[in-house]
Copies of this chain bind each other. A is one copy, B any other.
Amino acid sequence: MIKLFCVYLLISFSSTFEFIFKPGPLVPASKGEIWPKPQQEDKLDERFFSILPTFFYFNSIGNRCNTLTEALNRYRKLIIFNNRHIKEIYYKARSCYEGGDSNFLGYLTSIEVDLTGVCNDEEYPSFEMKEEYVVNVTSTVQRISSDTIWGILRGLETFSQLIYLSDDYSCHRIETTVIHDYPRFAHRGLLLDTSRHYIPKKSILKLIETMSYNKFNVFHWHITDDYSFPYVSKTFPQMSDKGAFHPTLMTYDQNFVNEVQEYARKRGIRVLAEFDTPGHTLSWGLGNPDLLTACHNVPQLEWGPINPIKNTTYEFIFKLFEEIKSTYKDQYTHLGGDEVDFSCWKSNPEINQWMAENGIVGDYIALQSYYIQKLINYVDSLGLNSIVWEEVFTNGVTLPKSTVVNVWISDDPKTTLKQVTEAGHPTIISSYWYLDILKTGGDWLKFYNADPQDFDGTEEQKKLVLGGEACMWSEVVNEYNLESRVWPRASVAAERFWSPPDDPKTEQNMAELWPVASRLQEQTCRMNRRGVEAQPPSGPSVCF
């Protein structure tokens, strides 16, 4: 009855690839393929080890610290408890017996973990973090090695993904391979909006854990917006007392913010806080009524953006950003700046009088610039790097060259990227990876085919692309559909940010699409096995 979908696939299969329409899963999962695809993998031959999960351990031969120990424990559990959700398979594969297969190299009971550089539990991941690593699984050497703890974390994920279940579900196997891997982009983000719906704490932590399965390294926390202010400020507790959906049940206090950062640090993930101003701040007005611009006869609006002409505004904002500086560990902070609606500013007599007195009569972009420049300068003085949404740049606000411009509007991102990088700004692009927009199925091909550096510009301009972000705006998600809406579609963005560029795939060329779809199916099953409610990416399927 929705055969339309299948018929469509059927037609599209026809060009180059002898696809036979059969019972069973439409796209069977690959076995032991890595997601995101490594920069370099040399599969040596058909030989393989088997793993008896309960007899497997990591042999740490390099530098150590708690971060490493905890990571080894985490990945040991992921390996031991592989397939635990299907008891019959779990127990069968624990007592795997390999017969006389000539490719069988023996049971792999351990792998060396060699952290050659310093392991420092005080160090937070940063924009400059190095994530390069090597994984060797050969008949003579089995080792994960890296100069950095971040590289080891990525290598552990890769190693855990090499393990697959044999066709008869009886053994966990791992084939001989050598992987040398590092990310294409330094900034690989997932944005979560916790204002339009309150997202429970455990869902946020689980999202971050799942990010690590996909080698994301930036959790972009869009923590406040028009609808609610769930952040419990030390300096201004009334902001969440009045502005959250509930003052205690639906807030994130300092302990939790610290917990998130520590949890993310252990997984090599940065926490990028966004306190979006001067628009998207209606909920801020509940805790600080002086902060917003009163609208005068504007349809449907009583309050507008932050009032940029009052000294009290800056006293408040500067104190808030002082707190942000002391609370959040990352070198970067996201200042927002998107979608500032000028209608209330236009309607407000005091604002217009002030603008006349300051020689910018009628120029509301200049007023926005006035606000955002004061904010950027202050944030700069705190020693933080700023990221802003693209309108701040496209509206012509004068910005320091170091300010990162986050391109998000989907109309013509390539032109914007060209302009932003021509002006010398580093950039992060989100336009292509909006997770809230969904059709019937997995909707992942468009995510796969978008490339952050695909715009008209010089090599120098291309280098200014720091990376990209997938965005989970929460108008349409809460704790109940968050996980299935994010995964595995965000995984596809993650591959685009980590892996080498790839030619666009089409449903008309199944021969090329198929290997990607099979790996994505395996990554989906892998997340399901680890307890993540990832939805099916490509039609009828089955996971073991």
- Residue positions of A touching B, CB distance < 8 A: 1-3, 5-7, 10, 13-14, 18-26, 86, 88-89, 193, 195-198, 222, 226-229, 243, 245-246, 248-250, 280, 282-283, 285-286, 299-302, 338-339, 389, 408, 430, 434, 436-442, 471, 473-478, 480-481, 483-484, 528, 533-536, 539-542, 544
Q: Which residue of chain B has its CB nearest to the CB of A284?
A: B23
> What B residues does A10 contact at CB under 8 A?
300
> What B residues does A243 contact at CB under 8 A?
23
Residue pair A542, B226 in contact (C-beta under 8 Å): no
Given contacts A1-B338, A88-B249, contact A228 B23 (CB under 8 A): yes
In-complex Cβ contact of A3 among B339, B474, B528 (8 A): B339
Q: Report the minimal beta-carbon distance from A532 to chain B, rounded to whole angstroms.
A: 8
Q: Which 4 A-B pairs have the closest CB atoms?
A: A481-B484, A480-B533, A23-B283, A2-B473
Name the residue among A2, A18, A338 with the largest chain B CB count within 10 angstroms.
A2
Given contacts A14-B300, A389-B1, contact A24 B245 (CB under 8 A): yes
Residue pair A475, B437 in contact (C-beta under 8 Å): no
> What B residues does A540 contact at CB under 8 A?
195-197, 227-228, 474-475
Q: Report the minimal beta-carbon distance from A83 to chain B, rounded to whole angstroms.
A: 11
Q: Is the interface of A mostly helix, strand, loop or mixed?
A: loop
Q: Report the minimal beta-carbon distance from A293 to chain B, rounded to whole angstroms.
A: 14
Q: What is the copy number of this chain in the assembly? A: 2
> What B residues does A226 contact at CB under 8 A?
6, 21, 23
Residue pair B481, A19 in contact (C-beta under 8 Å): no
Q: Report the minimal beta-carbon distance from A231 to chain B, rounded to whole angstroms.
A: 14
> What B residues does A439 contact at CB under 8 A?
437-439
**Complex-state Cα separation, A540 to B199, whole angstroms:** 12
> What B residues does A535 contact at CB under 8 A?
476-478, 480-481
In-complex Cβ contact of A24 among B2, B227, B528 (8 A): B227
17 contacts between A and B (CB under 8 A): A1-B222, A1-B339, A1-B473, A2-B436, A2-B471, A21-B282, A22-B282, A23-B285, A24-B283, A25-B245, A86-B249, A437-B440, A476-B536, A478-B541, A480-B483, A481-B484, A481-B536
Q: Report the minimal beta-carbon distance from A386 to chain B, rounded to whole angstroms.
A: 17
Name the residue among A6, A437, A477, A540 with the largest chain B CB count within 10 angstroms.
A540
Given contacts A21-B300, A23-B226, A196-B540, contact A481 B478 (CB under 8 A): no
Name the residue among A227, A475, A477 with the largest chain B CB count within 10 angstroms.
A475
**Complex-state Cα separation, A20 to B297, whole angstroms:** 12
> What B residues does A198 contact at CB under 8 A?
542
Residue pair A476, B440 in contact (C-beta under 8 Å): yes
5 more contacts with CB within 8 A, not counting A24-B283, A197-B541, A481-B533, are A2-B475, A20-B300, A23-B226, A438-B440, A442-B476
